[in-house]
Amino acid sequence: MSQSTRLLKSVAFRLALGYGALVVGAMIIISAVFYFGTVGIIDRSIDSKLVVVSQRLTDRFEANGVEALQQQILQLLRDGVDQDTEVYLLLDAAGRKIVGNLSAPGGQSALDRLSDQTVDRDDRSSTSRLLPHQLSNGDVLVVGRDLQDLREIEQLVMRALLVGGAVGMLLAVGGAVLFRRKLERRVAAIRRTAM
């Protein structure tokens, strides 16, 4: 029987392999929970904020008319808050731009449904999450958020998890090798004592 066959059939090797698989499985589960928890919380926060802002602007329109809504959008675009990420667009019933920092979206989006689209925001390409809503006069209000910073966070978290996973794998393999050696030494000592 060759050395590698003996190694594969040894109890120490199988225990070490089981230990390594258990550590790797636990790392994968923890990493997945961390990744989807982190990115999911940010996504849900963005979505809920867009719904609230859209409702607030719709209420402004219903109470004070389209001119008041235009003024509110202009104020939001000039106030310096979330200036790097905010997206606003007001289209008339014919689809022409009235006010906003977004060129008219190319594709038709379902009303009152969030979707990610590549659009021109302030004359540059942007992947943004958009929420279009049709007002009672036929105009369409689009509220959105640029997703570049979210994509950067996702990449940062993914890189951290990959580096952590690689280090964890090395530790798991090292631990399995140490575990196997220690167990084999004890078994060898027991064999010598039994002879």
Cβ contacts of residue 143 below 8 Å, gap of 6+? Answer: 50, 53, 54, 57, 87, 88, 130, 131, 133
Strand, helix or coil for residue 34: helix
Q: How confident is the model at residue 95 (pLDDT cuts 50, 70, 90)?
A: confident
- 77-86's contacts with Cβ under 8 Å and 24+ in sequence apart are 77/101, 82/145, 84/146, 84/149, 85/145, 85/146, 85/148, 85/149, 86/144, 86/145, 86/146
C-alpha angle 24/27/28, rounded to 5°? 90
- Pick from 5-14, 37-46, 184-193: least confident: 5-14
Cβ contacts of residue 187 below 8 Å, gap of 6+? Answer: 11, 12
- What percent of the chain clears pLDDT 90, i.e. is strictly above it? 31
- What percent of the chain clears pLDDT 70, i.e. is strictly above it? 89
Amino acid in the structure at residue 4 = S
Tokens of 101: 């920092």
Give tens-digit pLDDT for 82-94. 878 899 999 998 8
Read off the DSSP letter of residue 102. Answer: B
Average pLDDT score, the chain: 83
CB 86 within 8 A of CB 135: no
CA–CA dist 53, 150 (Å, integer): 19
Amino acid in the structure at residue 46 = I
pLDDT attached to residue 129 = 92
Within a 10 A sphere around the Cβ of 124, how many other Cβ atoms?
Answer: 8
pLDDT attached to residue 62 = 93
